Structure 1
């Protein structure tokens, strides 16, 4: 494992590469500094160009952070994600047909990471049948230029299924809290772990480069083994951002990281409105 600068990391992306980014909505475990470094390189040099961007969860703050930083014509060729709602700038590119845009089920994309990691041919699922993801009803396309079929309708054992094709990865941007000198990564300050492990495995399966953004470095053999979420054998490079935030609105909350539980009386009650009713209905399904 080697520690490099953000600028060096951004230069590892080549024109036409597929970039996989980990993290979750609201900035949770998002490698923001790496994303910003790519945007700054493009603005300075006009490269990398024609990237395919892959992230199962929408990554943005409804404004300018997250993958919205990459919303420049010619920087992105294609985006495949579970949601565009977090990134209005990407939405505009899709609306103006300046990028090939696809939205596929977040859970299906998450499971696809595991299938890719295992070297299997793709994901077979009933999820998405008879919705806009079904190739008979659009195949998840969100712009006219998105012509390739990423999802196929197949029949197996007398049933219809959707087959989600694998997406080979050239570079992965992931995030953790601490990396040791051997590249082992822990996530003790992160609110979510997400698909970081399977993303690293999938990237290495396709011969890609795994780059992990962390807050700090540790001496080898000092991290608790049970806390390691990405083994060092899967990590090629590490960048350090000592100022990374837990989310876009929180520097650090021990409650978000699972260190403690806030007393319920300290949490303001939600007003009884449609949002609360929807949340209750969702909780009833758990």
Structure 2
């Protein structure tokens, strides 16, 4: 089954009010072609799950600046002053989560695990509103899984069945997010025939990917 579609068809899966995971680390590994598609379509009131909000002119940051996001669940906003401005002006809801906790919440969402215990955040504002458990002499927070309606990931090379290979640090959150959404859209640099990617270099199997869009730079 060929999973290659055009950007206009891909955008049919993006609708107002959705929860969307977006791969990337400071914009590296973020699918630019899909971000541009969302900007052009003008969907709004999105909840975004991402490692960070990148820069104002890069990645998720463009959606922040364009005010298409109502809430962001993330671990870092410091590189994007506009995120902080909108947060303080109460134009944007920001939920800050320790980075390792965020990654594990997404992994649990993809693996069907009901949650996990972590000592990270115990005794800080991170524990507010969360269930705390004591095991032996140690206290832990129960963190719940995260899933999304759609995940937007970026691949370096993909075959026509959606098997994906990532180059270096562009991998980051992408493989995790590919497992934790109802629909997975991948923007990729190069599309090849099935069998052209050595199976040792397939980092996201095609079973997790619904559609791929070529033209990623």
Fold equivalence (TM over 0.5): yes
Distance 1:123-1:172 versus aligned 2 partners, 3 A rule:
same
- In 2, are the aligned partners of 1:64 and 1:87 still within 8 Å (CA)? no
Q: Given the superposition, is the C-alpha separation of residues 173 and 50 from structure 1 closer, same or farther in structure 2, using an over 3 Å criterion?
A: same
Contact kept? 1:73, 1:98, Cα under 8 Å: no
Cα deviation per residue 1:49-105 (whole Å; 9 max; x = unaligned)?
2211001x21413x3212111125762221100111122222221111012211110
Does structure 1 conserve the Cα–Cα contact (< 8 Å) formed by 2:108 and 2:146?
A: no
Question: After superposition, where does 1:50-65 map in structure 2 within 5 Å?
Answer: 50-55=45-50, 57-61=51-55, 63-65=56-58
Which has more radius of gyration?
1
Distance in 2 (CA, whole Å) between partners of 1:232 and 1:192 is 18
- 1:12 alignment partner in structure 2: 13
- Cα distance between partner residues in 2 of 1:240 and 1:190: 19
Question: Is the 2:133–2:142 Cα contact (8 Å) retained in structure 1?
Answer: no
Matched, 1:196 2:191: no
C-alpha displacement of 1:34: 1.0
Q: Does 1:125 align with 2:103?
A: no
What TM-score, normalized to structure 2? 0.91
Segments of 5+ residues of structure 2 without an aligned counterpart are none
Q: For 2:199 and 2:24, locate their aligned partners in 1 and report how far apart those are by CA, in whole Å.
A: 22
Give the structure with the larger strand fraction.
2
Give distance in 1, aligned partners of 2:8 and 2:92. 25
Q: How many residues align?
A: 215
1:65 to 1:4, Cα distance in 2 relative to 1, 3 A: same
Of the three residues 236, 253, 256, the one matched with 2:210 is 236
Structure scoring higher RCO (CA < 8 A, sep ≥ 6) equals 2
Stretches (4+) displaced over 6 A: none
Q: 1:89 to 1:6 in 2, by over 3 A?
A: farther
* Structure 1 unaligned residues grouped into runs of 5+: 43-47, 136-148, 245-286
Aligned to 1:155: 133
